[in-house]
Structure formats: C-alpha cells, structure tokens
Amino acid sequence: MNRLLMNSFLLAALLMLPGQANARSDSLYQDLGGTAGIEQLVEDLLFNVADDRRIRHHFMDIDIGRLHEKLSEQICELAGGPCVYTGDDMVKSHTGMGVTRADFNALVEALQVAMDDNGVSVSAQNRLLALLAPMHHEIVGL
C-alpha cells in the first residue's frame, strides 16, 4: 500500500476518534521548524495547490497573502506554538465553496508533499494531520 493511501486511511481513522486529535505539543511546533518552518511549509503548500488542477479553482479569487498568514497562524497554534489563529472559523470560511472529499484529499496530498519537501518527519506529519483531521466535517460538503 503506498504511503499516500496509508495516510488517507490514517486521516479517516483519526476522524473517528473524538477528542484525541486536539492534544497540543510544543515538540510538534519545534518539529515543524518553529514559526519560520511553518511559514515555509505553508508557502510550499500553496505553490503545490496552485499547480494542482484538481483544486486550484478553489483558490483563484482569494487573497493568497492573507491565506498564507492565516494558515500559518492556524498550524502554529495547533502545533503548540506561540501563535494565535485570528481567521474565520472553518464553517464560515468554507460555506458555499462546494469542497468535496476528493478536494479535501487533494489538499492533504499537497500538504504531505510540502512536508516531505521540508524534511518533516513522518511522525510529525502524522501528528499534524491528526490535529487537522477534525476540521474535515467543517470543510467538506458545505
């Protein structure tokens, strides 16, 4: 089974675990390279999204600079860093976008590639995905 498929199964399994994915850890923030590492990770993620014909249409008419800032804040906060997420909640941000499960999975793929490109360990990748997984129901199908 390839790693991408395995991580998709992991993400789906984590969605079934109530409350488990909300644990914070300073070590994850450090494992992602701190604020600078997270900002680079998000930049690479956004470049991957722009190159992905499956999902780039969702990002065509948005302020990419603001998206970069808010995603960086969100990941930093979730990872236990010193940041505070100041963006809209996920439901408000995604209502009317028509994000499908396939779109969500494509974004996860883009994030995994960005994490690989930035030398993020598989363990840290899985911990970050576990923190992001509960957002699935707040993003898909709205």
What beta strand segments (E) does the chain contain? none
> What CATH number was assigned to the domain covering residues 34-133?
1.10.490.10
Q: Which of 37-41, 51-55, 88-92 has the lowest mean pLDDT?
A: 88-92
Name which residue leads in pLDDT, 89 or 39: 39
**Taking all residues of the chain, what is their mean pLDDT, rounded to a whole number?**
84
pLDDT of 5 strictly over 50: no
Model confidence over 91-127: pLDDT tens digits? 888 887 778 899 999 999 999 999 999 999 999 999 9
pLDDT of 4 strictly over 80: no
Residue boundaries of the structural domains of the chain:
34-133
Instruction: Tell me which residue has tokens 């911990």.
Output: 127
Per-residue confidence (pLDDT) for residue 16, from 0 to 100: 42
- Count CA atoms within 13 Å of residue 63 on its CB side: 6
Inter-CA distances, 58 with 61, 63, 106, 110, Å = 8, 12, 12, 14
Most confident of 54-58, 71-75, 90-94: 71-75
Q: What is the pTM of this model?
A: 0.79
Instruction: Tell me which residue has tokens 């883009």.
Output: 110
Per-residue confidence (pLDDT) for residue 142, from 0 to 100: 63
